[in-house]
Amino acid sequence: MQPIAFQKIKSGDAEIVYHVLGEGPPVILLHPFPANHEFWLPVANALSTRYRVILPDLRGHGDSDIGEGPATMEKHAADIFRVMDDAEVGRAPLIGVSIGGYALFEFWRKHRGRVSALGLCNTKAPADAPEARGARLHAANDVMERGTEPFFESMIPRLLGKSTRESRPDLVEGALRMMRQMSPSDVAQVQRGMAERPDSIDTLKTINVPTLLVTGEEDLLTGINEAELMRQHIPNSQLRVIPKAGHYSAWEQPEEAGKVLRQFLDGV
């Protein structure tokens, strides 16, 4: 296990924490909701023999503050920009899972000059349909009333594949441990921010850097259809499916995900 350095920076109205391991060309890995940088550690250890891996805790996750109001994609993109500046990274590959991918669409729209390659993992380009948006807003209100535990428990079957849930109780427990670092208001404001994210389908056609799309064979939330939609719109993008993995594919199958990402980064 590589030693990890961590930094705190001010970004707008929030303190954002990021971790760094390894030396070499920089790569930025963004975790999904409701996890934190720890999500990436098994993969980051494999990558850090060749790369300087930068792992932010997104706003409202892990040790990063939520700030005031919904954690919009604009705020996440601004936070990533500040992290890159603080870490003295000019241009780098950025890889994001789920909400990490949503933030990257916004980052690409605002700061594409800072992006040398993109990894879009277990994510999707369309905005929430009205029903999904309503469900997020309902969940946001619900955690404020009932606390986070029922919400986290209900997320496990959606986030982790059937194979993982049946054979890896340690990964289920680890996922819950990460989630429990979020307060009710963290969860609520992150959900509200995701509910108002813009549609990114038109953005896909503008992506002109090497792009890797990754999904899990058992991902119920974004899955192969969403990855295929992105592949059709992003010129020369490549798609990889991680077997026996759900929405948290890099957490569930870190060896396989690490291999796929390492191959992509070495090629870039």
pLDDT of residue 2: 62
Contact 75, 82 (CB under 8 A): no
Instruction: Per-residue pLDDT tens, the chain, 268 aa: give them.
Output: 566 889 999 999 999 999 999 999 999 999 999 999 999 999 999 999 999 999 999 999 999 999 999 999 999 999 999 999 999 999 999 999 999 999 999 999 999 999 999 999 999 999 999 999 999 999 999 999 999 999 999 999 999 999 999 999 999 999 999 999 999 999 999 999 999 999 999 999 999 999 999 999 999 999 999 999 999 999 999 999 999 999 999 999 999 999 999 999 999 9
pLDDT of residue 3: 65
- Domain 5-267 CATH class label: alpha beta
Model confidence, pTM: 0.97
Where are the domains positioned within the chain?
A: 5-267
- Positive/negative CA dihedral, 124, 125, 126, 132: positive
Compute the half-sphere exposure of residue 63: CA atoms within 13 Å on the CB side of its CA. Answer: 12
pLDDT of residue 1: 58
- Quickly tell me which residue has 């939520």 as its tokens: 66
Q: Where are the alpha helices (DSSP H) in the chain?
A: 41-47, 73-86, 99-111, 130-146, 149-159, 162-167, 169-179, 184-195, 201-204, 223-233, 249-252, 254-267
